[in-house]
Structure 1
Amino acid sequence: MRSSNPVFSRRGFSRDNGHAGFNAAPQAGGPAVATNPYATNPYATDPYAQQQGTQFGAGPQAPARSGAMTIDDVVTRTGMTLGTVVLTAVLSWVLLPVDPANVGKSYGIAIGAALVALVLSLVQSFKRKPSPALILAYAAFEGVFLGVISSAVSTYIAPGVVIQAVLGTMAVFAGVLIAYKMRWIRVTRRFYGFVMAAAMGFVLLMVVNLLFSVFGGGDGLGFRSGGLGILFGVIGIILGACFLALDFKQVEDGIAFGAPREESWLAAFGLTLTLVWIYLEMLRVLSILQGND
């Protein structure tokens, strides 16, 4: 299992040519490498010894063993990572006011924190094993950025929008989780390929828009404001929801095939990246809508 992330390239769901065994339950007597993302992991146990439902939905699960990842591990690590984001966001909101006397300093710190978070996330994305310290440090710097940006939007553009964006993000998470658990969303190779292609196209458009805004001023091509801003914001939220489904698939596969417990940190890292993505897009859409009232 590797961490998922709408911005950076995923290193694959498994060690089987970069994909997990989508909808391919292990069959007795079949080759392990074809469906087991952890077949080459020396810590993994035989996934064919037992079949039962996983925590996210019906499917095979490896026998319980010491040191294997569980849903409790994923929930705990995700709670720690998101808790760090929330804590530093609140502290930066309080300690880095965006009033006219301090706005330049606050924005400068926010941009610096965002760049540090970007570097840390890239480092973790390319590491073979998760580093809890690195992931928590990313969460801390990401929280600083989110706190200042949220404070600025709430102060100058749309008061009260932050709570709405948080509730909207929680609603998307709950909706995707229910849809995934009920198997209304089925993560297949085609689904994975479509989401990745759409995400790369979306990011490229946003990068081009950013370059035009830097050199031409304003909002560049207009993809992040007005009617187009709402449209692309909604597309961003939908992409984030799709990445949540991919994250849930990774967690399900990790539990089913006996991934080592340390992999739960990668699951937490991926879920945090995706939820931050959804929150920022939700914040943008709601702020545009309220600004047009």
Structure 2
Amino acid sequence: MALNNPAFSRDAAFSSRGGIAVANQVSNQQLNDMYNQESAPASGDVMTVEDTIAKTVGAFALLVVGAGLSWMLVPAFPLLWIGAGLIGFVLALVNIFKKQPSGALVLTYAAFEGLFVGGISRVFENAYGGVVSQAVIATVVVVGVTLALFASGKIRASKKATKVFMIAMIGYVVFSLVNFVMMITGATDNAFGLRSETIFGIPFGLILGVLVVIMAAYSLVLDFDFIQRGANNRAPRAFGWKGAFGIMVTVIWLYLELLRMFAISRD
């Protein structure tokens, strides 16, 4: 099966061979081993699509509340969103590398990311009026279309596509780091660094943005695939939080890239 979204850790519960195969004949030792194994989760303690959706909606509701609060507080506390973004980044790493998903950690991440997203959105709105509403609408459209295509079976994760996605992701991360260093060191004085450079009259940030939107859409496919396989293989219910976290990371990434694209187009 294809590799999962980078926000997801690998777990046997999501493998196509995750179940226990019982041979026609077993020895006494095998019977003892099977008896001593941890029993399968009860029906109410397994991951389901519906429960994961509920967790995702709850996490996004908290994010929206945090975003609204930050939007109002930015004039009085202009650096609030930067601090929240740093904390959110640390919490994201904790959630990624934590073996057992934690609902409390995911919700805490959602709260701080909400403060970050609301704050940076206010900054962009002040500089480029109207870009926030454009980015929100575009994000909803991309997520909705991707979900519809996945639900209809018209798009699925594959090994080849995921390898291309991972290579592109590494390239994007390296470029972003180089661009960030150039901006803070003064190597470039453009508002968006190398993204403001033009190719045949088109800002590089717009060309890159289109590719990133496609990458984010495929990342959503990996998110949906993770949730579907987890539910089919009766993974522990707590892994629904892993699914909610993965979708949240992807959607925030998509929104921020669209926000930047619309701002670059104004320049």
Band of TM-score, shorter chain: 0.7 to 0.9
Please point out which of 245, 251, 275 is paired with 2:221: 245
After superposition, give the CA deviation of every residue in 1:197-246 in whole Å (9 maximum; x if it has no partner).
11111111111111111112424751256610111111111111010000
Partner of 1:4: 5
Q: CA deviation at 1:166?
A: 1.0
Q: Conserved in 1, the CA contact under 8 Å of 2:70 and 2:80?
A: no
> What CA distance in whole angstroms lies between the structure 2 residues aligned with 1:3 and 1:269?
13
AA matched with 1:4: N
Distance, in Å, in 2 between the alignment partners of 1:20 and 1:230 is: 38
Aligned residues of 2:196 and 2:204 also touching (Cα < 8 A): yes
- Give distance in 1, aligned partners of 2:4 and 2:160: 19
Aligned to 2:12, what secondary structure does the other structure show? coil
Instruction: In structure 2, give the amino acid aligned to 1:74.
Output: T
Alignment-derived partner of residue 59 in structure 1: none
- Distance change >3 Å, CA 147–CA 221, structure 1 → 2: closer
Matches within 5 A, 1:143-292: 143-157=114-128, 159-215=129-185, 216-219=187-190, 222-223=194-195, 227-289=203-265, 291-292=266-267
User: Which of 12, 15, 22 pairs up with 2:12?
Assistant: 15
Letter in 2 for 1:11: S
Offset from partner CA, 1:249-283 (integer Å, 9 cap, x none): 00010111101111111100000000000000111
Measured at CA, do residues 155 and 145 of structure 1 come closer, stay the same or move farther in structure 2, by a change above 3 Å? same
Quote the residue 2:33 is aligned against. Answer: none
Residue 83 in structure 1 maps to residue 61 in structure 2: yes
Unaligned runs of 5+ in 1: 31-40, 46-63
**Counterpart amino acid of 1:147?**
G
Task: Judge conservation of contact 1:225–1:288 (CA < 8 Å) in 2.
Answer: no
TM-score, normalised to structure 1's length? 0.76
Structure 1 contact 85–143 (Cα < 8 Å) conserved: yes
Quote how far apart the aligned CAs of 1:183 are.
2.0
Contact 1:43–1:260 (8 Å) recurs in 2: no
The ranges of structure 1 where at least 4 consecutive aligned residues each deviate by more than 4 angstroms after the TM superposition are: 41-45
Please list, as runs of the form range in 1=range in 2, the aligned pairs for 1:100-111 lying within 5 A after superposition.
102=76, 105-106=77-78, 108-111=79-82
- For structure 2, list consecutive stretches of 5 or more residues without a partner in the other structure: 24-36
| Structure 2 CA distance for partners of 1:212 and 1:143, relative to 1, 3 Å | same
Mean Cα displacement is larger for which, 185-194 or 239-248?
185-194
Q: Identify the residue that residue 72 of structure 1 maps to in structure 2.
A: 50
Write out per-residue CA displacement over residues 13-44 of structure 1, whole angstroms, 9 at most, x where no aligned residue. Answer: x439xx854xx9x9x999xxxxxxxxxx9464
Query: How many residues were matched structurally?
Result: 245
Name the amino acid aligned to 1:138. Answer: Y
Residues 179 and 218 of structure 1, relative CA distance in 2, 3 Å threshold: same
Q: Distance in 2 between matches of 1:186 and 1:116?
A: 34
Identity percentage of aligned residues: 33
Backbone CA RMSD of aligned residues: 2.7
Distance 1:72 1:278, change over 3 A: same
Task: Report the CA distance between 1:84 and its aligned residue.
Answer: 1.0
What is residue 48 of structure 1 aligned with on the other side? none
Task: State the TM-score, normalizing by the size of structure 2.
Answer: 0.83
